[in-house]
Structure 1
């Protein structure tokens, strides 16, 4: 009798456990059934290791999928712990206006950075508010200081010899960008501190190293093994050291009567209740968004100029002409007048973006698109920005690099459409900086910084490939990320008689 009761109890527990498992899996099964109705792209034709196949051929897979299914939404077979739905530009107008409780940009970025494991905070609205309300309107006031800091950093990090000098470009540009961005973020004294510059450069690299290490791991193993990854341990150590570095600075600002005119102080003034962890996390988020994207853009431009020398003379002439008409100062007005440089920057960014996709959003509530396609909750939607950049219906002869492409388009456009050809433009056919109210808020600061750095480098230096190489360095691709090779060198030689 006792054995029979035990058997019944065991069966009851087993059945209950089975039912709980079914109930927990039910939403996943329902989502999978609904997703199965969408066309898919990216499957490994050999049927082997789909995750490794996706990581290796990501850019090609998105381009192929977009070319075949550009007028619909489709599933990208990534074999990740979450499903990805790629949306055509035709749907972006209707999607960009949906509220955050339907499409969450924060949760989309959290997946990009694997925040569940890296502990990188994203939901910091005070940072976005401060960039939009304090930083962007202040660019006119800050521009002279930015220009001054670029001069100081170039003298510090780029050899001043008039002889040919080999320079590791990415490293040099990263140091300049860290110092110059730091001038705006934490002020002129701290931004030149070698420890501050080292933290600014290496935090983002170590964050992405950790996120990529997690992405390489099987989704089933991440909860058990991710915490022991050496990349994640290095990131934790970095965050602790940054906290200790910033602690006395934040404490001093809380006690001091004077208020510096920089981003950290604007954040502290805008949110007086922000605790230490929020201020540090906000600063790290700001660093992540600013340093390496700007560094990559400048490096890509210099790599391109080293093999496309036909652009140097017209760009130099434009820079000289604009300086002459603006009393030798690179004011915001002067930067706006550099339309050929702006076009060159935009074409470089079209060819060498930092990511394959933008407009990442986590779907929190189901969506029915205007063509009737249904997208369930619990997936990430994304726009295939790299594939859009090479769409022949959008760009004439897209596989030819044309640094004057957007200059010519702007010259021939209706006055109301000229802005669509600018580097900072966002629209349904150009989502490099995102789209809608969540488009990159720091792009105006970044554009100014990039233009001033490039104007100085183009005017003051000749640049060439080393050892007689004639082809541009290839960028490094991993999953959805694309970056210039940080180990490659160019030959710099100061132009006699030129000085910005």
Structure 2
């Protein structure tokens, strides 16, 4: 589907794992500016009212797409509505289809996939629409002083990709597919939880956000976002409590293996972890079936830097596998966490969030195969704060 991306994933191995993480500090002002603009556009409140009711998940996914692409391709491309809609459609169509393909025998999958692409074609449409912006980055390359992820991509692109811009565009679409929906899922869950939380708990998060920004001279920079401990804890608890998938971190045994209980795994066996039992283990998590937004921030004492880092949303451990494990851990998790916190902090400081009158406070999530996403039709009321 994406050409040689799987055989030569230079956009993941070097850019996302190393260069992007180093560039996060410079991206924060861009993300913040775009988040402010996107929130204003997606949460328009009529002059005659003080609140607006929105369908949360699709709205947040499109908002996140705009903010993501401010970092990915820059402005004004990140505001191209046609591209953003096509880009969002890629994951909505491709991820379920990848599961459907497993229902067919291997020899039929290429034909089924080709038929699907002909009838839907979201990826090709997204590639065509983003090409002009990629070409613009090539014409005004800033590899030495990158301002977008595409600038970083150009550092490592082989000559043939620079001559065929569609190949670079496909990688941008692929990166977008990985970056948008997971962030949208976490942000939506966070908004539902904030709507359920006691007002004084929400105010605790706001107070900490304002104090962190004030400590940086009134500027919301990367250092300030790094001090959003209660918001960070909320996000980590969401990952623990609301499983995004029923199994994950799949591996294939390259040779026969014997696990701790004596079970023999033949060569070629597929092994995966089940997050829910791990994340609800009472030997690791106190009262694991209760959602505690400050579960992890309460464990931060400030006395032990290593211990404090272990409580962070992006930390990998055998007891918390939202982002995978070891060297195969999600390379984009630092960017995702930063982006989600920037969006949520803007929403928290400017809006009160509540469920509509009479609506369920526990909207049923939607599950497909191994994936679970927040209820796609549930709504929230956003009221502009005085």
TM-score after normalising by structure 1: 0.70
Instruction: Note the residue ranges of structure 1 that are not aligned, 5 or more in a row.
Output: 1-114
**Displacement after TM superposition at 1:249 (Å):** 3.9
The answer as to 2:94 corresponding to 1:207 is yes
- C-alpha change, 1:252 and 1:335, in structure 2 (3 Å) is closer
Alignment match, 2:51: 164
The answer as to 2:249 corresponding to 1:359 is yes
Q: What is the distance in 2 between the residues matched to 1:373 and 1:489?
A: 47
Alignment match, 2:376: 486
- Write out aligned runs for 1:311-350 (5 A): 311-350=201-240
**Displacement after TM superposition at 1:228 (Å):** 4.5
- C-alpha change, 1:167 and 1:428, in structure 2 (3 Å) is same
Q: What is the distance in 2 between the residues matched to 1:244 and 1:125?
A: 21
| SS of residue matched to 2:300 | helix
Pairing partner for 1:237 from 121, 135, 140: 121
Contact 1:214–1:226 under 8 Å retained in 2:
no
**Displacement after TM superposition at 1:363 (Å):** 2.6
**Displacement after TM superposition at 1:471 (Å):** 2.5
Q: What is the distance in 1 between the residues matched to 2:294 and 2:141?
A: 51
- Write out aligned runs for 1:401-416 (5 A): 401-411=291-301, 414-416=304-306
The answer as to 2:19 corresponding to 1:134 is yes
Alignment match, 2:333: 443
Q: What is the distance in 2 between the residues matched to 1:256 and 1:346?
A: 39
Alignment match, 1:188: 75
The answer as to 2:323 corresponding to 1:433 is yes
| SS of residue matched to 1:467 | coil
Instruction: Note the residue ranges of structure 2 that are not aligned, 5 or more in a row.
Output: none
- Write out aligned runs for 1:159-308 (5 A): 159-161=44-46, 163-215=50-102, 217=103, 219-220=104-105, 223-224=107-108, 227-228=111-112, 232-233=116-117, 237-256=121-140, 261-275=147-161, 276=164, 278-308=167-197
Aligned Cα root-mean-square deviation (Å): 2.6
Q: What is the distance in 2 between the residues matched to 1:414 and 1:252?
A: 47
- C-alpha change, 1:124 and 1:257, in structure 2 (3 Å) is closer
- C-alpha change, 1:274 and 1:137, in structure 2 (3 Å) is farther
Largest Rg, 1 or 2: 1
Contact 2:86–2:123 under 8 Å retained in 1:
no
| SS of residue matched to 1:354 | coil
- C-alpha change, 1:139 and 1:158, in structure 2 (3 Å) is same
Q: What is the distance in 2 between the residues matched to 1:302 and 1:231?
A: 38
Alignment match, 2:9: 125
Q: What is the distance in 1 between the residues matched to 2:358 and 2:210?
A: 30
- C-alpha change, 1:248 and 1:149, in structure 2 (3 Å) is closer
Q: What is the distance in 2 between the residues matched to 1:231 and 1:425?
A: 41
- C-alpha change, 1:410 and 1:256, in structure 2 (3 Å) is closer
Contact 2:363–2:375 under 8 Å retained in 1:
yes
Alignment match, 1:12: none
Contact 1:131–1:442 under 8 Å retained in 2:
yes
The answer as to 2:264 corresponding to 1:380 is no
- Larger mean Cα displacement after TM superposition, 287-296 or 188-197: 188-197
- C-alpha change, 1:185 and 1:413, in structure 2 (3 Å) is same
Alignment match, 2:29: 144
**Displacement after TM superposition at 1:414 (Å):** 4.7
Q: What is the distance in 2 between the residues matched to 1:404 and 1:300?
A: 15
Alignment match, 2:365: 475
Q: What is the distance in 1 between the residues matched to 2:299 and 2:9?
A: 36
Contact 1:164–1:493 under 8 Å retained in 2:
yes
Contact 1:363–1:376 under 8 Å retained in 2:
yes
- C-alpha change, 1:230 and 1:165, in structure 2 (3 Å) is farther
| SS of residue matched to 1:492 | strand
User: What number of residue pairs does the alignment pair up?
Assistant: 377
TM-score after normalising by structure 2: 0.89
| SS of residue matched to 1:166 | strand
